[in-house]
A and B are shown apart, each in its own frame.
Chain A
Amino acid sequence: MKKLLSIVLALALLCLCGIAAAETLNVAYMPNYGSLWAIETAIHQGYLAEEGLEVNLVEFADGPTIIAAMESGSIDIGYIGQGAHKLCINGRATIFALSHVSNGDALIGGKGITTVEDLKGKKVAYSSGSSSEDILVNSLTKYGMTMDDIQAYDMDASAIVTAMLSGGVDACATWSPNSLKILEEMPDATKLTDNMTFADTSVSLASWICMPKYAETNRDTLVRFTRALFKGMDYAADDHYDEVSTWVSAQTATDYDSVYNQRGDAEWLTGKEVAEGAADGTVEGYYRLQRDTFVANGAVEKDPVPEVSEYVMLDLMVEAGK
Chain B
Amino acid sequence: MLFLLIGLMLAASVCVLCLRKNRESLFLLGMCSSVMVQFAGILIFIAKKGGYTQDILRFLFFSLDMKSRVQYMYVTLGQIGYMIAIGRYLFPLFLLETALSYSMAPPVRRHPRLKLYAVILPAVTLIVYIPAVFRALTDAVPALHNVIVQTAYLWILAYVGVSMLLLVQEALAITIRVCRRQFICVVVLLAALSGLYLLYCGQDPAQVYRFYSYDYIWNKGLGYLQYAPSMGGYVTLVVVSVICGGLGIGSLLRYTQNTLMDDREDMGLERKFDVARTGASVFVHSIKNQLLANRVLEKHIMQELDSEAPDLSRVRACVAQLHENNELLLSRSEELYRTVKSKSVRLTPVSLADVEATTLRRFARKYPDALCQTSLDPQLYVLADVNYLSDALYNLLTNGWEANLSAGHADRPVRLISRQERLYTVLEVRDEGVGIARSEQRKIFEPFYSSKNSNYSWGMGLYHARMIVKAHLGQLRVESTPGRGTSFFVMLPRCEP
Q: For residue B225, which residues in chain A have a CB less than 8 angstroms away from its CB?
A: 68-69, 72
Assembly CA distance A301 to B215 (angstroms): 8
Decide if B49 is an interface residue (CB 8 Å cutoff). Answer: yes
Report Cα–Cα, A83/B77, bound state, in Å: 17
State A276–B431 Cα separation when bound (angstroms). 98
- The complex places the Cα of A136 from the Cα of B77 at a distance, in Å, of 18
Residues of B within 8 A of A (CB): 48-53, 64, 71-78, 209, 211-215, 218, 220, 225-230
Please, which residue of chain B has its CB at the minimum distance from the CB of A59? B50
Give CA–CA (A159, B229) in the complex, Å.
25
Knowing A58-B51, A61-B50, A154-B76 are in contact, say whether A69-B228 is a contact too (CB < 8 A).
yes
Contact for A159 among B75, B218, B227, CB less than 8 A: B75
**Of A85-93, A106-114, A186-194, the one touching chain B:** A85-93
Q: List 5 A-B contacts (CB under 8 A).
A: A60-B49, A60-B50, A71-B220, A128-B211, A154-B77
The reply to whether A72 and B48 contact each other, CB–CB distance below 8 Å, is no
C-alpha gap A49/B263 in the complex (Å):
69
Residues of A within 8 A of B77 (CB): 128, 154-156
Which residues from chain A contact B229 at a C-beta distance below 8 Å? 74
Q: Does the CB pair B228–A154 fall under 8 Å?
A: no
Segment at the interface with B among A15-23, A160-168, A206-214, A239-247: A160-168
Q: Does A28 contact B (CB under 8 A)?
A: yes
Let me know if B76 and A153 touch, CB within 8 A: yes
A71-B220, A72-B220, A74-B229 known; A159 and B76 CB under 8 Å? yes
Docked complex Cα distance between A158 and B75 (Å): 10
B214–A68 CB distance below 8 A: no
The distance in angstroms between the C-alpha atoms of A86 and B212, with both chains bound, is 10
- A282 within 8 Å of B by Cβ? no
Measured CA separation A271–B14 after assembly (Å): 62
Residue of B nearest to A64 (CB): B212
A313 to B212, CA, bound (A): 24
CB distance from B92 to the nearest CB of A (A): 25
Task: Assess the A68–B211 pair: CB atoms within 8 A.
Answer: yes
Q: Are B74 and A65 in contact (CB under 8 A)?
A: no
Q: Among the interface residues A71, A74, A86, A159, which one has the most CB atoms of the partner chain B within 10 A?
A: A159
Complex interface: chain B residues within 8 A of A128 (CB):
77, 211-212
- Residue on B nearest A154 in the bound complex, by CB: B77
CA separation between A86 and B216, bound complex, in Å?
14
Within 8 A of B (CB), among A69-110: 69, 71-72, 74-75, 83, 86-87, 90, 92
Q: Which of A162-189 contact B (CB under 8 A)?
A: 162-163, 166, 168
- Residue pair A168, B211 in contact (C-beta under 8 Å): no
Contact of B51 with A69 in the complex, beta carbons under 8 Å: yes
Q: Which residues of A contact B (CB under 8 A)?
A: 26, 28, 58-62, 64-66, 68-69, 71-72, 74-75, 83, 86-87, 90, 92, 127-130, 133, 153-156, 158-159, 161-163, 166, 168, 253, 299, 301
In the assembled complex, the Cα of A69 lies from the Cα of B78 at a distance in Å of: 21
Q: Are B212 and A74 in contact (CB under 8 A)?
A: no
**Minimal beta-carbon separation of B135 from chain A (angstroms):** 10
- 5 more CB-based (< 8 A) A-B contacts, given A66-B51, A299-B214: A59-B51, A60-B49, A92-B214, A129-B213, A154-B78
**Cα distance, A139 to B71, chains bound together (Å):** 28
Chain A to chain B: the 7 pairs with minimum beta-carbon distance, closest first: A129-B212, A69-B227, A156-B48, A74-B228, A60-B50, A162-B74, A128-B212
Hey, which chain A residues are within 8 Å of B50, CB to CB?
58-61, 65
Residues B214 and A87 in contact, CB atoms below 8 Å apart: yes
Distance A163 CA – B209 CA, assembled complex (angstroms): 18
Q: Are A156 and B227 neighbours in the complex by a CB distance under 8 Å?
A: no
Contact of B218 with A68 in the complex, beta carbons under 8 Å: yes
In the docked arrangement, what's the CA distance between A75 and B49, Å? 14
Contacting residues, chain A, for B78 (C-beta < 8 A)? 154
Partner of A65, one of B51, B75, B76: B51
B228 touching A162, Cβ below 8 Å: no
Residues of A within 8 A of B72 (CB): 158-159, 161-162
Given contacts A58-B53, A60-B50, A75-B227, contact A166 B74 (CB under 8 A): yes
Counting chain B CB atoms within 10 Å of each CB, the highest count among A62, A130, A154, A155 belongs to A154
Q: Name the contact of B228 in the complex, choosing from A26, A129, A156 (C-beta under 8 A).
A: A26
B220 and A159 contacting across the interface, CB-CB below 8 Å: no
* Least Cβ–Cβ distance between A288 and chain B, in angstroms: 19
Q: Among the listed B52, B73, B213, B227, which residue makes an inter-chain contact with A72, where contact means beta carbons less than 8 Å apart?
A: B227
* Chain B residues, CB < 8 A from A26: 228
A75 pairs with B214, CB closer than 8 A: no
When chains A and B are docked, how far (Å) is the Cα of A148 from the Cα of B321? 106
Tell me if A65 and B211 are in contact (CB < 8 A).
Answer: yes
A60 near B48 (CB under 8 angstroms)?
no
Chain A residue nearest to B48 (CB atoms) is A156
Cα distance, A128 to B218, chains bound together (Å): 16
- Complex contacts, A60 vs chain B, CB 8 Å: 49-51, 227
Q: How far is the CB of A3 from chain B (nearest CB, A)?
A: 43
Query: Chain A contacts of B213 at CB under 8 A?
Result: 129
CB distance from B314 to the nearest CB of A (A): 103
The answer to whether A154 touches B209 (Cβ under 8 A) is: yes
In the docked arrangement, what's the CA distance between A90 and B212, Å?
Answer: 12
Q: B365 to chain A: closest CB distance in Å?
A: 79
Taking a contact as CB atoms under 8 Å apart, the answer to whether A64 and B228 are in contact is no
Q: Which residue of B lies closest to A84 (CB)?
A: B212
B49:A65 contact, CB within 8 angstroms = yes
Closest A residue by C-beta to B228: A74
On whether A159 and B48 interact (CB within 8 A), knowing A68-B227, A74-B228, A74-B229, the answer reads: yes
Across-interface contacts of A253 in B (CB, < 8 A): 64
B224 CB to nearest A CB, Å: 10
In whole angstroms, what is the CA distance A35 to B72 when docked? Answer: 21
B-side contacts of A159, CB under 8 Å:
48, 72-76
Q: Which residue of the partner chain A has the closest CB to B68?
A: A158
How far apart sit A155 and B77, CA to CA, in the bound complex (Å)? 5
Are A155 and B76 also in contact (CB < 8 A) when A64-B211, A71-B220 are?
yes
